[in-house]
Structure 1
């Protein structure tokens, strides 16, 4: 795969690499400037991987017979910061390598905007983008990345984002309510096995293979009997009511509320919003509840109502206009601190990695590795741990760049990510080359129907990604104990 990547980079002077963990992206990043003889060269990585990448560059450099000048390294987070908006102009790279390029998947972010402006000003710049999770949910995730790496003429997608959005409405796995389009002329892709095959066969696109890990995966779904108080709050949440009696109608907030309640806590607003903001929110909530009570087909959440009727109602227009003006601050309110320890005990795992979405869990888990992979209690890095221990981890902070297979093979997910791509990254922390055990265990904490529905959803999403990428997804392999 690395040889194919180097050949593609040399011939196409750019590459979109759907290359996963453990498949050699670091070496590709280091050698590409030498192959193309393009300097200055810039490698962009997530902030948590800057130090690790430099260490790996130094290690590889000692094995080379010739001296290779490595690219400069800049984090995505740094370029996103207002103080660093001129960094690209100062560096003037002729080659930009985007490792974990899904960080630039949002074309409207400050990061992507700065990259796009630089590439427009210096169109001769060569771009290489690599990630095992380039496509999260839609063709739109890679539209601009294909333009940057291959150019508009060589990209397999339409030139404009607007036309690509039309394709996405016909080809994507998930399409908003009422937006699904018939494939029409796009049925031509079905004859060749689907658009995913067409994409993978495009010159300039490289797809990594299935790395032989040498270990199987066993998935477990762990039920748990929650106490009467938590069950009462969950029942109220089903009706859109928070533990403080306030009404909550936003689907994402309600989903988050149910998941945190299942762990024994919830996030309370410190202060209410401004009176006008609260009034517009209340009126929109009333409209949403009335609409849901009509039990119309395919309308079962605030998000669906928003997509179907939001822009055409006075309540929706007024709420959407004022909604961004206030972001509530929250505080953790514990209702039952016994749940998490009891779940860990019931899992019967010896030294599990306990994955969490919220730092509130850190108060019950020691060590707990948060931002930068550092223990919130001692400041020690997870990479400095020398023997297996039961440890809590922030999902967001640790799903990239952490090679944890040498010490751990058991995972307990107290939270279930909404994205199959995120789960792919998470599982790959322990299910990767170098795993010493014959089996990696992934246990999903699933005390409610919402948890089990989330598992079913990400499994279905993984199936679509597998068909699209032509590569086995970890959620699609292994044995499931339901």
Structure 2
């Protein structure tokens, strides 16, 4: 593996490239990369890798506690796991568009043992999966060697002579105090499970992560069933740090922009120009397919195409009659951009959010229970708006100690209030006006119901079936749970234990945000689900469908119903399907939205 880092600066500000693909050294480099065939997971070669890595990492034991833990013994690796471990050892980095059910959690624990010279590794996971990592660690340690581990202050275990693994939640990287977190640990290996959480370079957590990798020689490994999202931009920086000069994506941000304009799903893509050479090199006729071949045949890329479960997926629409009051309110909202309470909306994103809420029968609004004068509230809004606008502009440059709203507020305070510190300052124009009025107004958020027709229909489904009602809006989920008199599973302390204590003898209401990614165990008790507030992201759908359609599902078919009763809901699902098709075409791993029998798409 080359020891030099790629010429990639995560903090570089650059003018987006014109919508024309130009001849570049990046394209020449990509075309010259070695190619190797994708491993057939059902082949004898795959079985040989399984034998090799199982023998290398297994440990002898006379008795185990697997039954006590409530899981069958794991005594043999899966083919995708063995392949990824082989690539980790040979290449020193892995880019893994690996589908649901191929054993990514096991990889999280075993990769530090496969990487030569690894002493300290950091594992990044969604916060709701930390408990699952602890359970998996206890299970894998019964029959395999595992690293020493530390999961916050709640769990730790020392394995003499083995590397150390520190488990950090992505949310911890989002906090202001985490600016020096990675610097204090100085890991030589970083593993990002559910690596799609790092797709957006504009977030504080991704900026801190990228900055550490740019400044240190840590090796990087990442996998997710939805790694590439819906843009070349989503995978380029992850590939750069995992595979370095061996990345099949451009390393130069400007070239990434050019490729994105030509390859991303669009009604008016840029001309391919020199990218025609990629078609010639791969022998493919479509650019998405050509990029796919170039990616999956690159050393260090582990891409699963085969599903890890034989059960089929059926997706159908749950029909519901929309009350006239909801239709009228939505029509007025789309025409005037004014909420039913008179609040004027300022941008298209806010309009779309409110429309989706109203399609579910309600909308959120701020209330001011202390009764501040309208003039004060208006002045407060204006100062808040000016401050947030200035912060957004400043955050476009991800500088150390200036890469989150809280850190910017502290930097502005150091400048304007003269607070002594060696940290950087910021001469904000709006800070003083904002802090002068910030605490003068107290607000709360409340849900205003127009008609709870959708919640009543979801509750009816829940009472007539034994499945999961998935929600995105907290007020909606709470109303369904109240109407159906069934448990509501949101986030917070103990959320994983509570939902995994369910035994499928009743329906439940579950938060997509808290339980729609990575949660394992629900498939053993449920096979039916109602997606009441459908996501618009193909990645979110892939993760959501993977909660029930995964290894351990005893049924032959997983049944999913979804509402499509307004343009906002229909567009959300259609957009997710469009994204899933792009991801499957480029990344290669089958997307559940694409392999499912989608009844409402049948002519």
* Of 348, 351, 367, the match for 1:254: 351
* Of 287, 301, 320, the match for 1:205: 301
> Which structure 1 residue ranges, 4+ long, deviate > 4 Å from structure 2?
65-70, 346-349, 372-375
| CA distance, structure 1, for counterparts of residue 241 and residue 553 of structure 2 | 36
Number of the residue aligned with 1:133: 226
CA-CA distance at 1:338 after TM superposition: 4.2
| CA distance, structure 2, for counterparts of residue 70 and residue 20 of structure 1 | 27
Question: 1:412-431 alignment to 2 at 5 Å?
Answer: 412-431=530-549
Number of the residue aligned with 2:142: 62
Gap change, CA 1:107 and 1:238, over 3 Å in 2: closer
Question: 1:75-90 alignment to 2 at 5 Å?
Answer: 75-90=169-184
| CA distance, structure 2, for counterparts of residue 211 and residue 86 of structure 1 | 40
CA-CA distance at 1:397 after TM superposition: 1.1
CA-CA distance at 1:348 after TM superposition: 8.1
- Larger Cα-atom Rg: 2
Gap change, CA 1:84 and 1:410, over 3 Å in 2: same
Does 2:473 correspond to 1:368? no
| CA distance, structure 2, for counterparts of residue 384 and residue 373 of structure 1 | 14
SS across alignment from 1:3: helix
Does 2:446 correspond to 1:331? yes
Does 2:551 correspond to 1:433? yes
SS across alignment from 1:381: helix
Number of the residue aligned with 1:50: 130
| CA distance, structure 1, for counterparts of residue 503 and residue 512 of structure 2 | 21
| CA distance, structure 1, for counterparts of residue 324 and residue 263 of structure 2 | 45
CA-CA distance at 1:89 after TM superposition: 2.0
Number of the residue aligned with 2:272: 183
Of 15-24 and 427-436, deviating more is 15-24
Of 384-393 and 93-102, deviating more is 384-393
Of 93-102 and 357-366, deviating more is 357-366
* Of 370, 379, 390, the match for 1:274: 379
* Of 186, 189, 198, the match for 1:92: 186
CA-CA distance at 1:374 after TM superposition: 5.3
Deviation by residue 1:364-409 (Cα, 9 ceiling, x = unmatched): 213111115856xxx9620121233211111111122212100111
| CA distance, structure 2, for counterparts of residue 361 and residue 380 of structure 1 | 23
Instruction: Say whether the 8 Å CA contact 2:477–2:509 is kept in structure 1.
Output: yes
SS across alignment from 2:523: coil
Does 2:195 correspond to 1:101? yes
| Count of equivalent residues | 433
TM-score, normalised via structure 1 length? 0.83
SS across alignment from 1:9: helix
Does 2:198 correspond to 1:115? no
Number of the residue aligned with 2:389: none
Number of the residue aligned with 2:99: 20
| CA distance, structure 1, for counterparts of residue 563 and residue 463 of structure 2 | 12
CA-CA distance at 1:70 after TM superposition: 5.3
* Of 113, 119, 130, the match for 1:39: 119
Does 2:258 correspond to 1:166? yes
TM-score, normalised via structure 2 length? 0.67
SS across alignment from 1:371: coil
Number of the residue aligned with 1:301: none
Instruction: Say whether the 8 Å CA contact 1:373–1:398 is kept in structure 2.
Output: no
Question: 1:135-154 alignment to 2 at 5 Å?
Answer: 135-151=228-244, 153-154=245-246
CA-CA distance at 1:134 after TM superposition: 1.1
Instruction: Say whether the 8 Å CA contact 1:18–1:132 is kept in structure 2.
Output: yes
Gap change, CA 1:206 and 1:65, over 3 Å in 2: closer
Instruction: Say whether the 8 Å CA contact 1:419–1:458 is kept in structure 2.
Output: yes
| CA distance, structure 2, for counterparts of residue 61 and residue 46 of structure 1 | 22
SS across alignment from 2:469: strand
Deviation by residue 1:263-283 (Cα, 9 ceiling, x = unmatched): 2211123366538849x99xx
Deviation by residue 1:296-338 (Cα, 9 ceiling, x = unmatched): xxxxxxxxxxxxxxxxxxxxxxxxx99xx89x96421112234
Gap change, CA 1:480 and 1:147, over 3 Å in 2: closer
Instruction: Say whether the 8 Å CA contact 2:121–2:163 is kept in structure 1.
Output: no
CA-CA distance at 1:233 after TM superposition: 0.7
SS across alignment from 1:453: helix
CA-CA distance at 1:417 after TM superposition: 0.6
Instruction: Say whether the 8 Å CA contact 1:219–1:478 is kept in structure 2.
Output: yes
Deviation by residue 1:75-95 (Cα, 9 ceiling, x = unmatched): 111122122222212212111
| CA distance, structure 2, for counterparts of residue 148 and residue 257 of structure 1 | 38
SS across alignment from 1:158: coil
| CA distance, structure 2, for counterparts of residue 119 and residue 343 of structure 1 | 46
SS across alignment from 1:354: strand
